[in-house]
Amino acid sequence: MSTTYSRLFEPIELGPVTVPNRIFQPPHGNAYGLGQQQTDFRAEKARGGFGLIVQEYSQIDETTDVTPVDSGYLHDDETIPPQKRMVDAVHAHGSKLFVELWHGGATAGNYGSRQPPLTSSQRPTGRNYTPKAMEREDIRTVLDAFGDAADRARRAGYDGIELHAAHGYLISQFLSPFYNDRDDEFGGSLESRMRFFEDAIERVRDNVSADMAVGARYTIDERVDGGLTADGDGIEVMRRLSDDLDFWDVDIGIKQSIDDMIGPSRRHEKNYQMDYLKAATRELDVPVGGAGRITDPDDAAALLEENYVDMIGMARQSISDPHWPRKVKDGDVDRIRECIGCNICVSQSRQGIPLVCTQNPTVGREGDWPPETYEDAADPKGVLVVGGGPAGMEFARVMGERGHLVHLKERDDRLGGRVTFEAGLPELGEWNRVRDWRAAELDRLETVSVHTGPRAEMSYDDVRTYGAELVVIATGAEWDETGTTSSSHQPVPGWERDHVLTPTDAIATDLSGQTIVIFDEEGYNVSAGVAQSLAADNRVIFVTPRASAFQETLHTFERRTIFTALYDLGVEFVANHTLEEVRDDEVVASNVYSGDRRSYEADAVVFTTMRESNDDLYRSLKADAESLRSSTEIESIHAVGDCVAPRRIADAVYAGHELAREL
Ligand SMILES: Cc1cc2nc3c(=O)[nH]c(=O)nc-3n(C[C@H](O)[C@H](O)[C@H](O)COP(=O)(O)O)c2cc1C
Ligand code: SF4
């Protein structure tokens, strides 16, 4: 290991617990529940060298519930045995496992338990319920529940407790003047607002063993007007409570500013939370950990060296590459699969859909697909892969790892396919890591040769005569030119006019000083990126049949930054409208509910409605599969990725990986 990184691997004492290094996974949910999948997932990070793992937010009793997310629980004794197994699995690799005790307060709708959501003060939630301001007996009940949950955590064998006092959940709803306007001993002055937190710490301390650490997840800056700030009460709370805690796991942002809490790479620089934390780290004797788009080992080492934090937290990076610490230690820094900050992970888990990752297709399948471990091919084959986008690259990589002899053909001058296009859109540059990591791995593999450029284009006859035994077609998808939507299933009349463009054409064309109508049903990164790109030099009118633009970015937390950027550029939005017709210099749009029609001036029109598979080559080969098998070396023909069904990049990578594991 380079001495540069040695500080990362120094042990650190969190009260009575010695953590073997300073690299930890802050709590993060995954909607995997408490079964074997959860155990395998956390144990993989321990195997990959994370010194401390904090199991996700775990419900302490029935007055709060995680519905619809199958998440962490400590509300009854039945939750103990599976967590005991998880603790043992993590300990087997020498790492420590803490658990985060969570009460959601106003933020938990309690749709499962049907109990009234409880909080410090009755304030709007922006949803279809308003919570109850807790009476004194509610407060006693919940404080007791913190104690009982800590007792269960002790019995499960956890090494420590992290109280969830962050993100606008119950404890932070007491701490924060943004939520708390009580006038009793639990509200008003800072001292009174801290009382609930202090009492919760006491209850937890009363129920853990002397060898367990007790710390807190804490939001030092809430990033809302009227909330805690890092240079005000935010740090003051830490000053006053540091004698009671063994560590702090500090971050920024609450529900109302969630895009700052789990910042996407769009407008959130690497290490973006560190400036909020450094004063506390430098002033307090208690260790402070922090996270926020830390992915680079040099940065991580420097952040420790310069006392920004005492421990490096990586939630998303630990998902994207659970072997980050081991790779740093082994000198394999170049092989780290860096997170791209797309937030596909959290967009799924927060809706109760099991977590997946764009960069790491093995996530959630660690039991049967151990990351970085591949089964040697019993009978290595000659494999031809046509198409070097995310699915083709991932497939070729895993087949190469398994010992097959792979030729990867990409007709463009470089690998990447759609990733290269999408990462070229404004503010998505880090998405290129999907391509670049795979390109570097392919380069390293002696079993794989990559051919790019026009001469690598493969026709039916080229494939037929190539001599490969396995043929995999990964030719991706193209944007539809006709503007067909889910509700019309018909081309927009006038779609064939010259000034109607696909997103790729629009970016490749020199457009300026024009009025451009974008007709969108994608609602995600391509329409946002094309709009942002074009709006720099044109007037852009964004028409969508959806109730709002960019609905697919609601849970990736990119919505605010996208809308901010586009409003700054003067983009005009026309929601709930479909396109009836494209004319020479205008379009006709109609309201999807009232049917009212209106014309908009348009020098150019861009459709970001749907993509269609490029599957002609695959289908023609497949149609002749029998004769090809008898007349050539070809044994089987497969299609993979967008060539089968155009979906997210994450799905293309997964499909490539899955096929290569299973062939
Ligand atoms: C999928 C996902 C789930 C999360 N769940 C939790 C959670 O259960 N409790 C919590 O305190 N923070 C949670 N977080 C926030 C992370 O702990 C972390 O603060 C945030 O992701 C920023 O760190 P990162 O850039 O290293 O990901 C979650 C983050 C992600 C990506
Ligand atoms: S889904 Fe995206 S943001 Fe989440 S860990 Fe994977 S690469 Fe990072």
The reported pLDDT for the residue numbered 324 is 98
What single string gives the DSSP state of each residue in 400-444? HHTT-EEEEEESSSSS-THHHHHHTSTT-GGGGHHHHHHHHHHHH
- Is 169 designated active site? yes
Q: Which of 5, 32, 169, 618 is catalytic?
A: 169
In tens, the pLDDT along 526-548 reads 999 999 999 999 999 999 999 99
Name the nearest CA neighbour of 171 among 324, 44, 72, 57: 57
Ligand 1 pocket, residue 291 CB under 6 Å = yes
Q: Could you identify the atom of ligand 2 that is nearest to the CA of residue 265?
A: 3
Q: What CA–CA distances, in Å, run from 475 to 230, 384, 386, 529, 640?
A: 50, 12, 6, 23, 8
Rounded Cα gap, residues 514 and 601, in angstroms:
10
- Give the orientation angle of helix 80-91 with respect to helix 36-47, to 10 degrees: 20
> ipTM for the complex?
1.00
In the prediction, which pLDDT does 66 show?
A: 83
Give the span between the Cα atoms of 196 and 374, in whole angstroms.
Answer: 50
Looking at residue 1, its pLDDT comes to 64
**What local confidence, expressed as pLDDT, does residue 67 receive?**
82
Separation CA 243–CA 222 (nearest Å): 23
Strands (DSSP E) found in 492-557: 500-501, 515-520, 539-543
Question: Quick count: other Cβ atoms within 10 Å of Cβ 569?
Answer: 17
User: Residue ranges per domain, the chain?
Assistant: 3-339, 382-476+614-662, 481-611
- Crossing angle between the packed helical segments 649-662 and 390-401, to the nearest 10 degrees: 30
Q: Distance from the CA of 21 to the center of ligand 2, in angstroms? A: 24
pLDDT tops 90 at residue 163: yes
pLDDT (mean) for 315-332: 98
Q: Which helix (H) or strand (E) holds 313?
A: strand 311-313
φ/ψ of residue 409, rounded to 5: -115, 125
For ligand 2, the distance from its centroid to the CA atom of residue 316, given in whole angstroms, is 6
Class of the CATH domain delimited by 3-339:
alpha beta
Q: Among candidates 380, 391, 385, which has minimal Cα distance to 637?
A: 385
Whether a cis peptide bond, with omega within 30° of 0, leads into 68 is yes
Pairing of strands 477-479, 611-613: antiparallel
Q: Answer yes or no: is pLDDT of 211 > 90.
A: yes
Any ligand 1 atom below 6 A from CB of 268: no
Distance 31 CA to ligand 1 centre (A): 13
Q: Whose CA is nearest to atom 21 of ligand 1?
A: 262
For residue 215, give the ligand nearest its CA. Answer: 1
CA separation for the pair 215, 162 (Å, rounded): 5
Spatial contact of 367 and 36, defined as CB atoms under 8 Å apart: yes
Report the C-alpha gap between 639 and 477 in whole angstroms. 12
pLDDT in tens, 619-663: 999 999 999 999 999 999 999 999 999 999 999 999 999 999 999
Residues with CB under 6 A from ligand 2: 316, 319-320, 339-345, 357-359
Distance 431 CA to ligand 2 centre (A): 10
CA-to-CA distance for 53 and 20, rounded, in angstroms? 11
For range 368-391, the mean pLDDT: 96
Quick check: helix, strand or coil at residue 353?
coil
The tens digit of pLDDT for each residue in 450-465 reads 999 999 999 999 999 9
May I ask the CATH architecture of the domain 481-611?
3-Layer(bba) Sandwich (3.50)
317: Cβ below 6 Å to ligand 1?
yes
Please give the DSSP secondary-structure letter assigned to residue 107.
G
CA distance 38 to 102: 18
Average pLDDT over every residue of 475-502: 97
User: What does CATH list as the number for 382-476+614-662?
Assistant: 3.40.50.720
Lookup: tokens for 604: 């150019």
Query: Residue 94's CB: how many other CB atoms inside 10 A?
Result: 12
Question: Percent of the chain having pLDDT more than 70?
Answer: 100
Which amino acid belongs to residue 173? Q
Tokens of 398: 């895993």
Give the ligand whose atoms come closest to the C-alpha of residue 338. Answer: 2
Report the SS3 class of residue 38. helix
CA of 340 to the centre of ligand 1 (A): 15
Angstrom distance (rounded) from CA 442 to CA 401: 9
Q: Above 90 in pLDDT, residue 68?
A: no
Q: Which ligand is nearest to the CA of 357?
A: 2
305 three-state secondary structure: helix
d(CA 638, CA 473): 6
Distance set, CA 415 to CA 46, 79, 234, 436, 442 (Å): 33, 47, 47, 9, 11
Checking if the pLDDT of 577 tops 70, the result is yes
pLDDT of 152 reads 98
Examine the pLDDT at 2 and tell me if it is beyond 90: no
236 alpha carbon, distance to own chain's centre: 32
Q: What is the mean pLDDT of the chain?
A: 97
